[in-house]
Amino acid sequence: MTLQNGTVSWGEALRVYSRPQVITMLFLGFAAGLPLLMVFSTLSAWLSDLDISRSTIGFFGWVGITYSIKVLWAPVVDRLKLPVLTNLLGQRRSWMLVGQFGVMVGLVAMVLADPQVSLTSIAVCAVLVAFSSSTQDIAIDAFRIESAADEYQGAMSASYIFGYRLALLVAGAGALYIADGAGWDMAYITVAILMLVGVVTVLLVSEPERQIPLSTIEMESGLKHRLHADEPGLWHRLEAWFVGAVMAPFLEFFKRNSSWALLILAFIALYRLSDITMGIMANPFYLDLGFSKTEIAKIGKLFGFFMTLAGSFLGGLMVVRYGIFRPLLAGAVMVALTTLLFAQLANVGADLGWLTLVISADNLSGGFSNTAFIAYLSSMTSRAYTATQYALFSSLMTLPGKFFSGFSGVIVDASSYQVFFVYAALMGLPAIFLSWLLWRHASRAT
């Protein structure tokens, strides 16, 4: 498939969604999305229903740190072979399966533990679910990247997001509905059983082939030799593993991208800065304008859900049709412009038509830009160190936004919502400029 100058037809671009690899990501996305809310908002609802104090419930938010630090054990998932399982299933599928069984065991254990007797047991089980879930995420990301060429990564991401969002509905509203009718134990058991969707998918699909360039093998061997890690002995074997699993992925990235490496890392850190910074203020903003919780929930869930899926689908289509960089630039522009719509909504006030427009535009641009961005991150990883490098990128892409979002309330209190959203939109300018700059660099390289 040729991507130069938009020579792929719309029919060819649409047919990418019928590829088996793309369909597979729908089911793996569903398995990845199920555990998240079971240790966050759904767990909070369960504990609140048992009259656990809000302060105690708040501490359970620390479970989420597990997802942010998964880069620390990504090298293990990348390189460590599991006894028996790796020989039977392969590196990626074996780790996905272990992560899925860990989630299922953790969810069932949460049912067996009694929150009113021992919250510590619930906390330990929640950490097990989060750790297993994030381990599954590492393996799924590596599987996705290695299963298809770069031009298909947008569609792979869009399919994954669809499955993930569907799972969030099941683990969120679905779990609450089950808990209301059959109790919390049944809600958690049901989600544990639904994890079998991921298990069956892993057993049915094939392990992707990993083609490691000779230059990468020579680079890693040379690094081990210079550090004397290729000498005999237990210590040197451990050192060789550390060099290959931890040091080599970073060295390979900088060697492959040379002087552009730091700029690429800065771009990854800044691309989502605008939407993450403003995201935390969205619901307080709606409430302060005078919208009811019911209005926010209905419009947010209905239009937000479908517009995110539409944006993701369109983003994947554009990546196949035009390559990665043009959709990447368009996504950055869309995010900045839709953030300005929030400033206009602040001027208009509590108008349901404008609320629908803003939420729709925000989710459409978010789905579009995230799909293009994930395709870009996937294209930047080496097949030799897929899990480690992608885990680094995915951690880096949210860190600055989470940091700056902490000051969002201060800015609103010191000025106004209008000023804050204009400020958030301006924070998207570096992403627009760097998208254009990297596009030019890639065009010259080819």
Concatenate the DSSP letters of all residues of 240-281 into one string: HHHIIIIIHHHHHHHHHHGGGHHHHHHHHHHTTHHHHHHHTT
* Cβ atoms of residues 207 and 92 within 8 Å: yes
Tokens of 328: 């990447």
Helical pair 20-38 and 119-147, crossing angle rounded to 10 deg? 160
Longest pairwise C-alpha distance within the chain: 72
pLDDT, one tens digit for every residue, the chain (446 residues) = 444 444 677 777 788 888 899 999 999 999 999 999 898 878 888 888 888 876 777 777 778 778 878 888 999 999 899 999 999 999 999 999 999 999 999 999 999 987 877 888 999 999 999 999 999 999 999 999 999 888 888 889 999 999 998 998 899 888 888 988 899 999 999 999 999 999 999 999 999 987 777 777 788 788 787 877 778 777 777 888 788 888 888 888 998 998 899 999 999 999 999 888 887 778 778 888 888 877 877 887 778 888 989 999 999 899 988 889 999 999 999 999 999 999 999 999 888 999 999 999 999 999 999 999 999 999 999 888 898 999 889 888 877 877 777 777 888 888 888 999 999 999 999 999 999 999 999 888 76
Whole-number Å distance between alpha carbons of 254 and 249: 9
* Cβ atoms of residues 33 and 169 within 8 Å: no
List CB contacts of 419: < 8 A, sequence separation 6 or more.
411
Tokens of 367: 């789905």
List CB contacts of 445: < 8 A, sequence separation 6 or more.
none
Whole-number Å distance between alpha carbons of 8 and 324: 13
Taking the CA atoms of residue 255, residue 218, residue 209 and residue 99 in that order, the dihedral angle to the nearest 10 degrees is -70
Q: What single-letter amino acid sits at 342?
A: F
Phi-psi region for residue 349, left (φ > 0), alpha (ψ -120 to 50) or beta? left
List CB contacts of 199: < 8 A, sequence separation 6 or more.
31, 97, 100, 101
Whole-number Å distance between alpha carbons of 193 and 36: 15
Q: What angle do CA 340, 341, 345 make, to 5 degrees?
A: 120
3-state helix, strand, coil in the chain (%, to 5): 85, 0, 15
What is the secondary structure of 160-188 as a DSSP string?
A: HHHHHHHHHHIIIIIHHHHHHHH-HHHHH
Helical pair 293-322 and 153-169, crossing angle rounded to 10 deg? 160
List CB contacts of 440: < 8 A, sequence separation 6 or more.
none
Which residue carries 């792979």 as its tokens? 156
The three-state secondary structure class of 309 is helix
Query: How crowded is the C-beta side of 115, counted as CA atoms within 13 Å?
Result: 22
Q: Can you list the domains of the chain with their CATH numbers?
A: 8-210 (1.20.1250.20), 225-445 (1.20.1250.20)
Q: What angle do CA 305, 307, 308 make, to 5 degrees?
A: 65
Closest CA to 359 of 344, 377, 341, 337: 341
Phi, psi at 31, each rounded to 5° = -65, -35
The three-state secondary structure class of 283 is helix
Closest CA to 154 of 398, 379, 390: 379
| pLDDT recorded at residue 7 | 62
Task: Please count the other Cβ atoms lying within 10 Å of the Cβ belonging to residue 351.
Answer: 14
Whole-number Å distance between alpha carbons of 236 and 234: 5
What is the secondary structure of 47-86 as a DSSP string?
A: HHHTT--HHHHHHGGGGGHHHHTGGGTHHHHHHPPPTTHH
Tokens of 437: 């700059």
Using a cut of 0.75, tell me whether the model's pTM lies above it. yes
The three-state secondary structure class of 398 is coil
Q: What single-letter amino acid sits at 51?
A: D
Closest CA to 191 of 200, 209, 208, 178: 178
List CB contacts of 65: < 8 A, sequence separation 6 or more.
none
Tokens of 268: 């990854």
